[in-house]
Amino acid sequence: MKREYSIIGKPTGNVDGAAKTTGEAKYCFDMSLPNQLYGKHLRSPYAHARILSIDTSEAEKLQGVKAIITGKDVPGGKWGLWRRFRELCDQIALADDKVRFIGEPVACVAATTKDIAEQAIELINVEYEPLPGVFDPLEAIKDDAPLVHDDFENNINATRHIEWGNVDEGFAQADYTREDKFTCFPQAVASMEVHNSLASYDKGSKRLTVWSSTQSPYYLQLGLADALKMREGDIRVIKPHVGGGFGGKNSTMPDSTSAALLSMKTGRPVKIVFNREEEFISTEHRTGMHVALKIGLKKDGKIVARECKVITDGGAYTGLGATALYLSGIFQTFPYKIPNYRYDAFRTYTNKVWATSVRGFGATPTVYCAESQLDRAAKDLGIDPLQIRKMNVMEPGYEAPGQYKVDSCGIMPCIEKMEKRIKEKWPKVEENEGIGFSAFAYMSGGIFNWIDTPYAYSGARVQVNIDGTVDLFTQASDIGQGHNTVSVMICAEELGIGMEDIRLHPADTATTPVDLGAWGSRETLMNGNAIKMAAGQIKQKLVDLARAKLGENIAYDLVAKDKRIYLELRPERGFSYYDIVRDAIKLNDGEPLIGTGHYTPHNKGMISPAYGMGIMAIKAKVDKEIGHIEPQGVLIVHDCGQEINPLGARGQVEGSVHMGLGYCLCEDMPNDNGMLLNPSMNDYKIVRQRDMPQIELMDVPTYEAEGPFGAKEAAEATIAPTAPALANAVFAATGAEFDSNVLKPEKVLKAIRAAEAKKAQKK
Amino acid sequence: MKQILQFTVNGEPRELLIDPKKFLVEVLREDLGLTGTHWACDTGACCCCTVIMDGKAVKSCSILAMQANGREVTTIEGLADGPNLHPIQQAFIDNWALQCGFCSSGQIMAAKALLDENPSPTREDIQLQMDGHLCRCTGFNMIQEAILDAAERLKGQK
Amino acid sequence: MKTIVNGFEYFSPKTLEEALKMLSQYDSEEKEFKVIAGGQSLNLMMKQGILMPECLVSIKGLSELDYLNYDAKEGLKIGALTTHRAIETSDEIQKNFKVLVEMEHNVSSTETRNYGTLAGNFCHGDPGGDPAPVLVALNAIIKMASVKGERTVPAEEFTLDYYETVLGHDELLTEIQIPVIPPNTGVYYTKYSQILGDFALASAAVSITLDDKKEKCTDVRIVLGSVGSTAMRAKKAEEILKGKKITDELLVQAGQAASEESDPTDSVEASEEYKRELVGVLVKRVGKEALERAKKA
């Protein structure tokens, strides 16, 4: 059935565009309150040390210092996102007995000016007893390694085993097997807006309000409740506009906890803004890992078995790293049918800032490894890279036993479209050029409830006013991905009204129904469903009233469209939406016209209700003397179900590819005994526009029955294939094989030479 | 010791008593409440804080406020014509040239300076001139398209 | 975000004379002062607490030093307050000293180039700076002034070490003079960084002068950046080319010689070995382009 929509699927500008282009949009960064104090953290210079004493007396004497807090002032216990597993709730507001990474906060000052706060932390005297640290996961698991957390033997924070089929039998059937080892380095989040929070404690009601650059107000509310030993309901979290999150703003961080504690102590509002260096050294990043991968194939290219062993570099705390561990085992199998699969992984604690969810989390590192290996196998077997993928991709209804089921699935048509387009676009390659491919798939929100909440995964409330204007309330978090626009589009489509009729009230825990926030591409499907359901309740009331007024037989369908409610087959018979709204409220004694909606997935397996997927190709040129890789163009075919906003989806794809190129080429976090060596935007290299290729995006529309209007994940998936597609392009051009990401020129040069030596040896 | 700073901001003359160690961005945001100018990197590497001073795009985080003494400064708040958006602003919205929007003020002010200087830029001109602007969301291509579109809109206005 | 923590007094003299007097006075009073022009590097160093001056003398307002004068005999004179951007967008420079425009395109950002000055950048003495190799290759002369008078030094002798120059504490760099490029001469500059416009892993500027038949090389200057404590001449490499008909093979040899002469250090971005190798490739490539230009000149 062809679906005709008025708003869905039409390229639509950002609903926050005017505010964001005029400087009127307020980020937490821009906010201040009268009588506000400024907070500043004193941070540990040691990667691992016992705190023997903290003397704040000199700092307290400084004029303008209003309060100083240390670990002893934190009333609550530890917290974390894995609340179902209390032992993994390991985060603390301020280091108590010991520090576990360089940059960990040990004290926080509130002062009348930023300068005084800066001067005050210099006057705090901390006595440390340095302890030996561990910085690599392979060292961390050794029996004699120092323990980051005393209760975790061998520094093992979490383990995962995934298995289906019979792997040993699978490999026994294989005509060809190969094993590769990789190291995937971490990637910084580097959102443009640093972490910052403004807290205000109300002395009368004993309630707390926190504005924060969070990507999940609800998680922050829970984290603060745990840290401060308060009731969730007494903490109000408001997310203003947020300058990027990418997964790095899910955890409750010291900007929030310290601002809250200091506000409670001083009775004045307290603002804490991290500087860029603090952002680099003390906030979360993408997980680094060691990966060992074995694949078995038949001669014709059919995959018969895969085995994967992963050990991740978790850093000092858990964050969402334990989730990343699980997903790393899942998404590397996508979008392929792997009949026999085994994954064993563990996450280690190390004395570094911790790793968590970052854009495409659980997919980006292991997909890099798996897709690189697949191309090497294809080359050895003499099979074309697209052909080997066609041999193995999933079809609709594919199920991985006990793990996931894939309903809408357009991967094969995506590859077919790619085959056709690539012949037109890049009919041949010159010397030192190559085209590389990678397939991809990603979730539309996760079906995991480690946060342990009885609330629905997403909620929304729609209130229709007497004049037909709509107030839409949802805690869904727009952090730049454009969900505010998607929310309004979905609500408007469902009610058959215009986007201008809707005022959105996003992300305030005191006024909006709970939503688990922006991670794992969950908002479009999950929150979209909640909004559609809430708007649908209102629509039903309006349609029922219209039907009664028309006196029609119940078999006749009415629709809400173009600001009217009318008989689908006789459009002239109907009413204005505005008239029906007024009547509906009047006839019900003025009862407010409110619809509520929620969404929680059921019977969709362990991972996600639906999966976006597709294939990417990158053409690249390699300077063989210098080792420089120049990405020349990117071609993507994406199945994201029904696109809600094609303009926004394209924006997300562009951004994902940009971040993926950085992951592949230049974004690196080298450390020396736990000290990050490049904690600035000058030294942490991000791809700039002259190095950014053009991207051509094509769509293979499917209909995802579980999603609002057939929608599912869009564009987060496209970060993961970027690095392997580019590395595979270099492989195609030069034969160079890489055992890690971050393809800085020196590494490229070495790999090219190794490939040339190997070739010469063969001859 | 505080010193007097006299300059024009968005067409209005301003006289302030400031600590000379303050950067222009601090004075704009904290003394004048013009928080539309953002600030992201601390090391002059991102151009997020770009404003226009005497017709040129400059980084307000890398210029002392006192260096703006006697100068004319335009910030993002000074771009729209009353309630009407400037064509560059509209082009940024229509081309989805912003996502989180945090760097947009700087991008738009740089685009304004660019188009004032060169009303018909090529994509390469834009890439070269806007190269200092970091954006973690957009991947830049749609920003370039917005600027090309804005150039057309501005020509249409004349 | 980071701000400057320690306060200072800020002065902005109106004339060069006033400025020089001020410097002389503060120098004799042993005051901790710094001269600021565009301040694109200085401000960052103050923010990081590397420099904590008691007072700042801003010369940005000295319009008498903001000029670009070109004369077909005398060459180019660049006032100390001329911005990078003024150089980048000058038609006269594009016509007569194209290499300067090419160099400027990759100096940081337009915003930096709009406010920062070429002279200020050069005075900063950063071995990774772009202007130094090009100014040395172009045989530039640096003019300085103090209350005691004026003096000049060749650009090659201006920078002494990391962030250290011959400029006296009471002195100002007032003008950069670039002689007319001799006939049959080609000059080119390239730096390599993985991200365009970034600080160089290594850079090379080469100036080649050919004889009237455009066969043999009569003069050559090869200058390396980012691979030592200052921009450095690769004199052994120059010797390989001088007096010869330059071939690809000879350029490879010159590259190898330059590679040996260079003195890079390990960094987060690349090892010393890689940078050495890069120098060799850059000298070969830049030399080839300079040669082509000399042939067309």
Is residue C267 within 8 A of residue C273, CB to CB? The reply is: no
Query: Closest residue of C to B64, CA-based?
Result: C43
Same domain membership, residue A613 and residue A592: no
CA of B147 vs chain A CAs: smallest distance (Å) = 13
| Residue A574 located in a structural domain | yes
CATH number, position B150? 1.10.150.120
Token pair 């290594």 in the structure block, residue: C202
Domain boundary among A252, A282, A312: A282
Which residues of chain A neighbour B35 with C-beta distances below 8 Å? 23, 26, 29-30
Inform me whether the pLDDT recorded for B141 exceeds 60: yes
Q: Is the peptide bond before A708 cis (omega within 30 degrees of 0)?
A: no
For A647, the token pair is 């303009």
Nearest to C231 by CA among C143, C139, C171, C156: C156
Interface of B with C in 109-128 (CB under 8 A): 110, 114, 128
Cβ distance A18 to B85 less than 8 Å, yes or no, reads: yes
| Residue A618 located in a structural domain | yes
Cβ-in-10-Å burial (0-12, 13-18, 19+) of A149 comes to middle
CATH number, position A613? 3.30.365.10
Is residue A254 within 8 A of residue A93, CB to CB? The reply is: yes
Q: Residue A538: helix, strand or coil by DSSP? A: helix
Domain boundary among B78, B97, B112: B78
Which residues of chain B neighbour C43 with C-beta distances below 8 Å? 23, 44, 62-64
Query: Closest residue of C to A275, CA-based?
Result: C1
Same domain membership, residue B140 and residue B97: yes
Which residues of chain B neighbour C196 with C-beta distances below 8 Å? 131
Cβ distance B142 to A193 less than 8 Å, yes or no, reads: no
**Residue A389 is which amino acid?**
R
Where b means 16+ CB within 10 Å and e means fewer, A714-731 reads: bbbbbbbbbbbbbbbbbb
Going from the C-alpha of B76 to that of each of A22, B11, B29, B69, B145, the distances in angstroms are 6, 12, 12, 19, 20
CA of A667 vs chain C CAs: smallest distance (Å) = 11
Query: Closest residue of B to A647, CA-based?
Result: B96
Nearest to A369 by CA among A162, A631, A621, A664: A664
Q: How far apart are CA C126 and CA C144, in angstroms?
A: 19
Cβ distance B1 to C9 less than 8 Å, yes or no, reads: yes
pLDDT of residue C211: 97
| Residue A342 located in a structural domain | no
Q: How far apart are CA A327 and CA A162, in angstroms?
A: 10
* Pairing status of strand A564-567 against strand A558-561: antiparallel
| Residue A296 located in a structural domain | no
CATH number, position B46? 3.10.20.30
Nearest by CB to residue B39, choosing from C1, C9, C196, is C1
For A717, the token pair is 């998936």
Average pLDDT over all residues of chain C: 97
Where b means 16+ CB within 10 Å and e means fewer, C141-173 reads: bbbbbbeeeeeeeebbebbeeebebebeebbbb
Residue A221, Cα to own-chain centre: how many angstroms?
19
**Residue A519 is which amino acid?**
W
Which residues of chain C neighbour B131 with C-beta distances below 8 Å? 109-110, 196-197
CA of B25 vs chain A CAs: smallest distance (Å) = 12
Cβ distance A690 to B93 less than 8 Å, yes or no, reads: no
CA of B55 vs chain C CAs: smallest distance (Å) = 10
Same domain membership, residue A87 and residue A229: yes
Residue C286, Cα to own-chain centre: how many angstroms?
17
Best mutation target, B2, B29, B76, B137, to test chain A (most A CBs within 10 A): B137
Which residues of chain B neighbour C112 with C-beta distances below 8 Å? 44, 59, 62, 132
Interface of A with C in 277-336 (CB under 8 A): 277
Eight-class DSSP state of A71 = G
Nearest by CB to residue A690, choosing from C197, C278, C281, is C197
For B87, the token pair is 């064509």
| Residue A258 located in a structural domain | yes
Cβ distance B40 to A480 less than 8 Å, yes or no, reads: no
pLDDT mean over C216-235: 98
Residue A638 burial (CB count, 10 A): 26
Q: Does C197 touch chain A (CB under 8 A)?
A: yes
Same domain membership, residue B139 and residue B92: yes
Is residue A48 within 8 A of residue A130, CB to CB? The reply is: yes
Is residue A246 within 8 A of residue A359, CB to CB? The reply is: yes
Q: How far apart are CA A654 and CA A652, in angstroms?
A: 5
Q: How far apart are CA A321 and CA A486, in angstroms?
A: 29
Q: Does B112 touch chain A (CB under 8 A)?
A: no
Same domain membership, residue B45 and residue B105: no
Same domain membership, residue A414 and residue A540: no
Nearest by CB to residue C281, choosing from A273, A625, A688, is A625
* pLDDT, tens digit (0-9, with 9 covering 90-100), for A101-159: 999 999 999 999 999 999 999 999 999 999 999 999 999 999 999 999 999 999 999 99
Same domain membership, residue A105 and residue A218: yes
Domain boundary among A231, A251, A282: A282
How many structural domains compose chain B? 2
| Residue A475 located in a structural domain | yes
Query: Closest residue of A to C202, CA-based?
Result: A626
Q: How far apart are CA B54 and CA A157, in angstroms?
A: 57
Nearest by CB to residue B43, choosing from A20, A650, A682, is A682
Which residues of chain C neighbour A746 with C-beta distances below 8 Å? 270-271, 274
Q: What value of ipTM does the predicted structure carry?
A: 0.98
Domain of residue A230: give its range.
Answer: 31-131+190-282
pLDDT of residue A532: 98
Q: At what angle do helices C248-261 and C272-296 cross, to 10 degrees?
A: 140
Nearest by CB to residue B139, choosing from A27, A657, A680, is A657
Same domain membership, residue A623 and residue A490: no
Same domain membership, residue B98 and residue B35: no
Cβ-in-10-Å burial (0-12, 13-18, 19+) of A465 comes to middle
Same domain membership, residue B69 and residue B50: yes
**CA-based angle C31:B23:A120, to the nearest 5?**
75
Q: How far apart are CA A37 and CA A262, in angstroms?
A: 9
Same domain membership, residue A657 and residue A560: no
Domain boundary among B61, B78, B95: B78
Domain of residue B72: give its range.
Answer: 3-78
Domain boundary among B78, B104, B130: B78
pLDDT of residue A552: 72
pLDDT of residue A4: 86
- Go through the domains of chain C in sequence order and give each one's CATH number: 9-58 (3.30.43.10), 63-178 (3.30.465.10), 185-296 (3.30.390.50)
Tell me which chains share at least 3 CB pairs under 8 Å with chain C: A, B
Same domain membership, residue B58 and residue B107: no
Cβ distance B136 to A242 less than 8 Å, yes or no, reads: no
Q: Residue A388: helix, strand or coil by DSSP? A: helix
Is residue A475 within 8 A of residue A691, CB to CB? The reply is: no
Query: Closest residue of A to C285, CA-based?
Result: A625
CA of A31 vs chain B CAs: smallest distance (Å) = 8
Going from the C-alpha of A702 to that of each of A494, A712, A713, B10, the distances in angstroms are 20, 9, 12, 50
Is residue A644 within 8 A of residue A701, CB to CB? The reply is: no
Q: How far apart are CA A306 and CA A293, in angstroms?
A: 7
Same domain membership, residue B101 and residue B44: no
CA of B15 vs chain C CAs: smallest distance (Å) = 17
Q: Which residues pair with A439 in a beta bridge?
A: A615
| pLDDT-derived band at B1, boundaries 50, 70, 90 | confident
Q: Does B47 touch chain C (CB under 8 A)?
A: yes
Q: Does B10 touch chain C (CB under 8 A)?
A: no
Q: How far apart are CA A490 and CA A497, in angstroms?
A: 10
Going from the C-alpha of A446 to that of each of A265, A443, C16, the distances in angstroms are 38, 7, 67
| Residue A137 located in a structural domain | no
Domain boundary among A224, A251, A282: A282
pLDDT of residue A252: 96
How many structural domains compose chain A? 3
CA of A680 vs chain C CAs: smallest distance (Å) = 12
* pLDDT, tens digit (0-9, with 9 covering 90-100), for A367-383: 999 999 999 999 999 99
H, E, C per residue of chain B = CCEEEEEEECCEEEEEEECCCCEHHHHHHHHCCCCCCCCCCCCCCCCCCEEEECCEEEECCCCEHHHHCCCEEECHHHCCECCECCHHHHHHHHCCCCCCCCCHHHHHHHHHHHHHHCCCCCHHHHHHHCCCCCCCCCCCHHHHHHHHHHHHHHHHHC
Q: How far apart are CA A156 and CA A142, in angstroms?
A: 10
Same domain membership, residue A485 and residue A439: no
The order of strands in the sheet holding A125-130 is: A98-99, A49-55, A125-130
CA of A470 vs chain C CAs: smallest distance (Å) = 39
Same domain membership, residue A464 and residue A422: no
Nearest by CB to residue A744, choosing from C1, C197, C269, is C269
* pLDDT, tens digit (0-9, with 9 covering 90-100), for C128-163: 999 999 999 999 999 999 999 999 999 999 999 999
CATH number, position A37? 3.90.1170.50
Nearest by CB to residue C43, choosing from B19, B64, B129, is B64
Q: Does A337 touch chain C (CB under 8 A)?
A: no
Same domain membership, residue A678 and residue A578: no
Regions of chain A with pLDDT less than 70: 1-3
| pLDDT-derived band at B158, boundaries 50, 70, 90 | low
Same domain membership, residue A215 and residue A95: yes
Which residues of chain A neighbour C2 with C-beta distances below 8 Å? 275-277
| Residue A502 located in a structural domain | yes
Which residues of chain C neighbour A686 with C-beta distances below 8 Å? 195
Inform me whether the pLDDT recorded for C197 exceeds 90: no
Q: Does B2 touch chain A (CB under 8 A)?
A: no
Same domain membership, residue A695 and residue A635: yes
CA of C183 vs chain A CAs: smallest distance (Å) = 32
**Residue C159 is which amino acid?**
T
pLDDT of residue A1: 42
Same domain membership, residue B74 and residue B40: yes
CA of A38 vs chain C CAs: smallest distance (Å) = 12
Same domain membership, residue A751 and residue A612: yes
Q: How far apart are CA B69 and CA A151, in angstroms?
A: 60
